[in-house]
Amino acid sequence: MPFNSLFEHIHQLPSVPAVVTELIASLDNDRISVHRVSATIHKDPNLSLKLLRSANSVRYGVGRNVATIDDALLLLGFDRVRTLVIASGMVGMLKDVPGLDRKAFWRESFMVANLSRTIVRHSQLGDLAPETAFTCGILHHVGSALMHIADPETMRRIDALVAQGAPRAELEANQFGYTFSEVGAELGRRWRFPETICNALTYQDKPLDAVPFSPYAAAVHLAIGLYHNIASGRREEHALGEMPREVRRPLALDLLALYEDILQLVRSDDELGVFLD
């Protein structure tokens, strides 16, 4: 199916909630205020309730009742609240995609998001935002949803082979002439997401091709590799040792602190239940 023809099916995807679009756009705005974010979240009562439910969960519990959005902003922090709402909105949007295993899709997305955030947090490059990395990770696989809608049978066959270890990008490029990365980046542009995020989605499979270098694409690339190595049974320590040096080196990572945090992350409880209805 030609790339442009694929997007004739975009109307079959639910719309991204306006609040999510606004919050994602705000990731590029260093001057946005806490009050502006609070006002934005208040516009969507459903997402506001999901935020409070998340904030009061065991995973994010802060030792006291979180009764309002302002409480959540104070206790969890501005950046964490923003990405919790973004994640909740995207999970709620992609509910019923034919042939897409929703639970597996979001389990991978959240782990890649958390790994991406941790990687960027330990980069010694300046001006990087861990929550932007988290958002890139949450969105990294969104292109697959449209591909499942447009050609569910081919995607079902690809999914079955990928589950046995086959390379998804190679199979998709062979069958379609493009991959979920390119589709996700184009969806992001149509949804008016910041170019920083769209660029990361474009180059997540080939981060060294991005000019200028995209640290977020590199972080997502490393996170995807870690996730798949660990999911396939590799010990966490071995998976960390197999992160490609040529991709991690430009990030100037503090490897000791990074390894310690990632081992703690991958051995912690699954947070998916906080978000799935």
23-55 confidence digits (pLDDT tens): 999 987 878 888 999 999 999 999 999 999 888
Residue 68 burial class via C-beta count within 10 angstroms: exposed 0-12, middle 13-18, buried 19 and up:
middle
The amino acid present at 261, given as its one-letter code, is D
pLDDT of residue 42: 94
Terminal-to-terminal C-alpha distance of the chain: 33
What is the reported pTM?
A: 0.93
Amino acid in position 4? N
Q: Which residue has the higher pLDDT, 205 or 231?
A: 205
- Residue 186 is encoded by which pair of tokens? 């184009």
Q: What amino acid occupies position 93? A: M
Helices (H), the chain: 3-6, 18-26, 34-42, 45-55, 69-76, 78-93, 102-121, 130-139, 143-150, 152-162, 168-176, 180-190, 195-203, 215-231, 236-241, 245-248, 255-266
Which of 62-66, 77-81, 98-102, 136-140 shows the highest mean pLDDT?
136-140
The C-alpha atoms of residue 117 and residue 136 are separated, in whole angstroms, by 9
Give residue-wise pLDDT tens across range 155-199. Answer: 999 999 998 888 999 999 999 999 999 999 999 999 999 999 999
Q: Which two tokens stand for residue 17?
A: 């909630």
Confidence of residue 61 (pLDDT cuts 50, 70, 90): low
CB 119 within 8 A of CB 250: no
The neighbour count for residue 35, using CB atoms within 10 Å, is 10
Return the SS3 of 123. Answer: strand
Residue written as tokens 């995207």?
Answer: 90
